[in-house]
Amino acid sequence: MRRETAQDIFVNFKELFFYNGNKLPFAAAQIGQTFRNEISPCQGLIRVCEFTLAEIEHFVAPQDKSHPKFSKVANLEFLMFPREEQMSINNETLGYFIGRVYLFLACLGIDKERLRFRQHLANEMAHYAANCWDAEIECSHGWIECVGIADRSTYDLHAHTKLVIAPVKKELGLAFKGSQKNVVEALEAMNEKEAMEMKAALESKGEVEFYVCTLGKNVCIKKNMLLISKEKKKEHQRVFTPSVIEPSFGIGRIIYCLYEHSFYTRPSKAGDEQLNVFRFPPLVAPIKCTVFPLVQNQQHEEVAKVISTLLKVAGISHKIDITGLCSG
């Protein structure tokens, strides 16, 4: 059982990168069943043991998170709750997917007044995320997370400078004899700040007192016993781990909220009862129209087939019914 569908995408990153011509950015999407590690989930259909999760993994170079289509969503206005003392959205790719998620949910029929985006607080951020936003929808259970958009900013670029601490073992051996190993290990364990301070002291005074913890005492280090420098390393290639922008959709929660937002009641024509109605936008209908002849006749059936072909060419999902059953 898997916790997230994205695992397969990360495992096959090398092959996906090859299929994209070894170039960034590129994206992969997957949908499948996921299992929650809980014995007794609560909140009814909102939190269940098994649910459908759809995820997009958009891989980008960490030094360039711009997006060519960001301008199409840059002027959108919707409700957002940023975390205090932090830039709300710090790169175009993250902003683009937040905008597209808003448009997607609005087109499905989610009430815009009951949709908001909330930035994760520091104590609820996933260990892999540098920035994370939830698309939350208000329903009978309150505000619930339906889509998560995370910036998995994993960046590992080699440093351009390297600290070099080179003890002169011959001079140290003559001075400390059997304690030479302890002194060498202590010198090599210095951090950059300590090493640069020692270098400055040796250049100005010629010697410096240095505490060796394994010996429990100070020793005198002279200028001829130690070489400290910073060398620049020329890189012939950049090695980095791509950053990932990850929109993750809880399909069941979105559908649940869509049912609630699309439901209303209206009086019957006679006015003696209330009718329950679902008002879905045409976009979510799996079948847009049905074609059928009103009477069972070979000539009408041929016309119906021609109309069906035209609808298929236009990409309109439909059904054709030539069984001759009464349509009403």
Per-residue pLDDT of the chain (328 residues; tens, 9 = 90+): 555 667 778 888 889 989 999 888 999 998 888 887 766 667 778 888 888 889 999 999 888 899 999 999 999 999 888 776 545 687 899 999 999 999 999 999 999 999 999 988 877 777 677 888 999 999 999 999 999 998 877 533 333 456 678 888 888 888 888 888 888 888 988 888 888 889 898 889 889 999 988 888 999 999 899 888 877 665 555 566 788 898 999 999 999 999 999 999 999 888 889 999 999 998 888 888 888 887 777 888 888 889 999 999 998 899 988 776 655 5
Q: Which of 227, 230, 236, 238 is nearest to 161 (CA)?
A: 230
Orientation of helix 251-262 relative to helix 92-108, angle to 10° = 50
If asked whether residues 206 and 228 sit together in one domain, one would say: yes
- Distance, in Å, from the CA atom of 25 to the CA atom of 78, rounded to the nearest integer, reads 27
If asked whether residues 132 and 183 sit together in one domain, one would say: no
CA dihedral over 64, 65, 69, 73, signed as positive or negative = negative
If asked whether residues 115 and 259 sit together in one domain, one would say: yes
Residue pair 198/228 in contact by the 8 Å Cβ criterion: yes
| Range(s) of the domain holding residue 328 | 286-328
Print burial letters for 83-99: b (CB count within 10 Å at least 16), e (below 16).
beeeeebebbbbbbbbb
Q: Where are the beta strands (DSSP E) in 36-76?
A: 50-60
- Distance, in Å, from the CA atom of 29 to the CA atom of 249, rounded to the nearest integer, reads 11
If asked whether residues 226 and 250 sit together in one domain, one would say: no
Residue pair 213/202 in contact by the 8 Å Cβ criterion: no
In a domain, 1, yes or no: no
Instruction: Give the pLDDT confidence score for residue 160 in this predicted structure.
Output: 41
In total, how many domains does the chain have?
3
Tokens at residue 112, please?
């815009």
Residue pair 166/195 in contact by the 8 Å Cβ criterion: no
Instruction: Give the pLDDT confidence score for residue 240 in this predicted structure.
Output: 67
In a domain, 138, yes or no: yes
If asked whether residues 17 and 77 sit together in one domain, one would say: yes
Instruction: Give the pLDDT confidence score for residue 234 in this predicted structure.
Output: 58
Domain boundary among 232, 247, 274: 232
On the CB side of 23, CA atoms within 13 Å amount to 2
